[in-house]
A and B are shown apart, each in its own frame.
Chain A
Amino acid sequence: MTLRSTWGAASLLAMLAAGAVAQQATHPETGEPLAGNQTFTYRVLDEFPTIDPGLNEDVEGSHVARQMFEGLLNQDPQGNVIPGVATEWSASEDGLTWTFKLRPEARWSNGDPVTANDFVYAWRRAADPNTASQYSWYIELMKVENAGAVVAGEMPPDQLGVRAVDDQTLEVTLSQAIPYFPQMVTHTTTFPVPQKVIEEFGDQWTQPGNMVSNGAYVLSERVPQERLVMTRNENYWDNANTIVETVTALVINDESQGLTRWQAGELDQTDVPIGQFPRLSEEFPEAIHAVPNLCSYYYAVNVRPDSDPALLDVRVREALSLAIDRDVIVNAILAAGQIPAYTLAHSATAGYEPPEVPAASMTQAERNARAQELLAEAGYGEGGEPLTFEIMYNTDQAHQQLAVAIGQMWKQTLGVETTLANQEWQTFLDTRRDGNFQIARAAWCADYNEASSFLDLMTTDNSANDPRYENPEYDALMEESRTAADPLPLYQQAEAILARDVPILPIYFYTEDFLLDPSIKGYPFENAQENWYAKELYRVAEE
Chain B
Amino acid sequence: MLSFILRRLLVAIPTILILIVISFVLMFNAPGGPFNSERPVPAAVMANIEARYGLDQPYVVQVWNYVWNIVAHFDFGPSFKLRDYSVTELILQGFPVTLTYGTWAFAVAVVLGVALGVVAALRHNTWVDYLATGSAIGASVLPNFVLAPVLVLVFTLWLGWLPGGGWNGGQWQYVVLPVVALATTYLAAIARITRSSMLEVLNSNFIRTARAKGLPTHRIVLRHALKPAMLPVLSYLGPAFVAMITGSVVIDVFFSTGGIGQYFVNSALNRDYSVIMGVTILVGVLTILFNLVVDVLYAWIDPKIRL
Seen from chain A, the residues whose Cβ lies within 8 Å of a Cβ on chain B are 3, 6-7, 46-52, 55, 57, 129-130, 132-134, 136-137, 140, 151-153, 203, 206-207, 223-227, 250-254, 256-257, 260-261, 263-264, 266, 424-427, 429-431, 433, 443-444, 463-464
Contacts and interface: CB of A to CB of B under 8 A. Distances in A.
Nearest to A43: B256
A508 to B, nearest CB: 18
Contacts of B35: 134
A52 B83 contact: yes
B271 interface: yes
Interface stretch (B12-20, B41-49, B125-133, B298-306): B41-49
Contact of A132 (B45, B85, B160): B45
The 9 closest A-B pairs by CB, nearest first: A426-B32, A226-B258, A152-B44, A129-B48, A50-B83, A225-B258, A429-B36, A132-B49, A261-B164
A136 B262 CA distance: 30
Given A3-B160, A134-B41, A257-B165, A225 B262 contact: yes
B293 interface: no
Contact of B164 (A227, A257, A443): A257
Contacts of B163: 261, 264, 266
B144 interface: no
B284 interface: no
B156 A151 contact: no
Given A223-B93, A264-B164, A129 B44 contact: yes
Nearest to A464: B39
A49 B37 contact: no
8 contacts: A50-B82, A57-B37, A151-B44, A224-B82, A257-B255, A261-B163, A261-B165, A266-B166
B224 interface: no
Interface in B4-31: 30-31
A256 B30 CA distance: 31
Given A263-B157, A426-B32, A52 B84 contact: yes
A224 B44 contact: no
B84 A137 contact: no
A463 B258 contact: no
Nearest to B249: A253
A225 B252 contact: yes
Contact of A203 (B51, B78, B81): B78
B253 interface: yes
Given A47-B82, A261-B164, A463-B42, 4 more contacts: A132-B48, A136-B45, A203-B83, A261-B156
B84 A223 contact: no
Given A49-B81, A49-B82, A137-B41, A6 B156 contact: no
Contacts of B262: 225, 253
Given A129-B45, A253-B262, A266-B164, A429 B83 contact: no
B157 A226 contact: no
Nearest to B42: A137
Nearest to B263: A225
Contacts of B253: 253-254
A310 to B, nearest CB: 27
Contact of B152 (A153, A223, A260, A426): A260
B232 interface: no
A430 B44 CA distance: 18
Interface in B245-271: 252-259, 262, 266, 269-271
Interface in B146-169: 149, 152-153, 156-158, 160, 163-167
Contacts of B158: 3
B213 interface: no
A134 to B, nearest CB: 5
- With most chain B CB atoms within 10 A of its CB, the pick from A3, A151, A224 is A224
B181 interface: no
Contacts of A464: 38-40
Given A50-B82, A426-B31, A429-B37, A134 B42 contact: no
A252 B252 CA distance: 9
A153 B48 contact: yes
Given A153-B44, A225-B252, A137 B39 contact: yes
A158 to B, nearest CB: 17
Nearest to B97: A226
A251 B160 contact: no
Contacts of B166: 226-227, 250, 266
A260 B156 contact: yes
Contacts of A132: 45, 48-49, 51-52
Contacts of A46: 266
A132 B266 CA distance: 23
Contact of B167 (A153, A223, A263, A431): A223
B113 interface: no
Nearest to B262: A225
A79 B153 CA distance: 39
Contacts of A48: 82, 84
B44 to A, nearest CB: 4
B83 A49 contact: yes
A264 B177 CA distance: 15
Nearest to A135: B41
Given A250-B166, A424-B269, A256 B252 contact: no
A225 B94 contact: yes
A55 B41 CA distance: 13
Contacts of B33: 426, 430
Contacts of A225: 94, 252, 256, 258-259, 262
Contact of A251 (B41, B44, B256, B271): B256
A227 B174 CA distance: 14
Contact of B31 (A49, A264, A430): A430
Given A50-B82, A226-B256, A430-B31, A151 B160 contact: no
A178 B104 CA distance: 61
A263 B158 CA distance: 10
B90 interface: yes
Contacts of B167: 223, 226
A55 B165 CA distance: 30
Contacts of A227: 166, 258
Q: By CB atoms of chain B within 10 A, which of A134, A430, A443 has the most? A: A134
Nearest to B41: A134
A46 B153 CA distance: 23
A227 B269 CA distance: 22
Given A6-B160, A152-B44, A261-B165, A444 B84 contact: no
Given A50-B83, A52-B84, A260-B153, A254 B45 contact: no
Nearest to A457: B39
